[in-house]
Structure 1
Amino acid sequence: MKFKMIHENYNVKDLEKSLSFYNEALGLIEKRRKVAGDGSYIIVYLGDSQSDFELELTWLKDFDRPYDLGDCEFHLAFQTDNYEEAFKKHKEMGCVCFENPSMGIYFIEDPDGYWLEVVPTR
């Protein structure tokens, strides 16, 4: 028996703001979306040109508060072929939330508080 990872879900408060962030910060683009017939939710799948893995963003119409992310001890990691350029871009965007120079990594934070790790190609 084999398993393949296909997506990870993040619930978001402002879908358009999140779509814009993920496109600008990480180059992710919308692959497809599902809209509930009654308008109660929208699910958008984002991807890159490097893999089949997708980030699923779910917007819930009736959710009226920020999501409780606990201690934020989870993250999705992205590898970049130009670490210095990516770091500069994310600094300019104001989304770098944690740096660990000794490990050669840093984290950015999306509009809902999810942390995303950025690592260089090694």
Structure 2
Amino acid sequence: MLQFNHFNFNVLDLERSLAFYRQALELETVREKTARDGSFRLVYLGDGETGFLLELTWLRSRTEPYDLGEQEFHLAFRTDRYDALYARHKAMGCVCLENPAMGVYFIEDPDGYWIEIVPARE
């Protein structure tokens, strides 16, 4: 057996990130792990439909933004509610790139990670 399990984003402000992912993408906490000494927290978010998880990692000692390079990576979500989510994301001010030719757009989370929104196609 070999299956996708989770993808990780390191975040500076865990509560801000949790609020963003709840509002923007309706992700909910599936499980958490906190170090005994409080040095880190892992929060796994799920979509309630697949088994794939987004792990948000918070490190107490981290105070500087993460270097995300040239943004040549991203996470993608497919949806059958493309227009409604697009309107929500525009209202939130998190749409960072639109590609009408491909029929997709990207949002940016509080730490600068890009997330592609792809319409479900038949």
TM category (shorter chain) comes to: over 0.9
Task: Quote how far apart the aligned CAs of 1:49 are.
Answer: 1.4
Using the alignment, how far apart are the partners of 2:107 and 2:75 within structure 1?
A: 10
Q: Secondary structure at the match of 2:72?
A: coil
Instruction: Give identity over the alignment, percent.
Output: 60
1:56-113 superposed Cα distances (whole Å, 9 cap, x missing partner): 0000000110000000110000011111111010000000000000100000000000
Using the alignment, how far apart are the partners of 2:101 and 2:49 within structure 1?
A: 27
Q: Secondary structure at the match of 1:102?
A: coil
Partner of 2:84: 85
With structure 2 as the length reference, what TM-score do the two structures score?
0.98
* 4+ residue runs over 4 A deviation: none
Task: Quote how far apart the aligned CAs of 1:50 are.
Answer: 1.4
Q: List alignment gaps of at least 5 residues for structure 1.
A: none
Partner of 2:40: 41
How well do the aligned residues superpose, as a CA RMSD in angstroms?
0.5
Aligned pairs, how many?
121
Query: What are the equivalent positions in structure 2 for 1:1-122 lying under 5 Å apart?
Result: 2-122=1-121
With structure 1 as the length reference, what TM-score do the two structures score?
0.98
Letter in 1 for 2:66: Y
Q: List alignment gaps of at least 5 residues for structure 2.
A: none
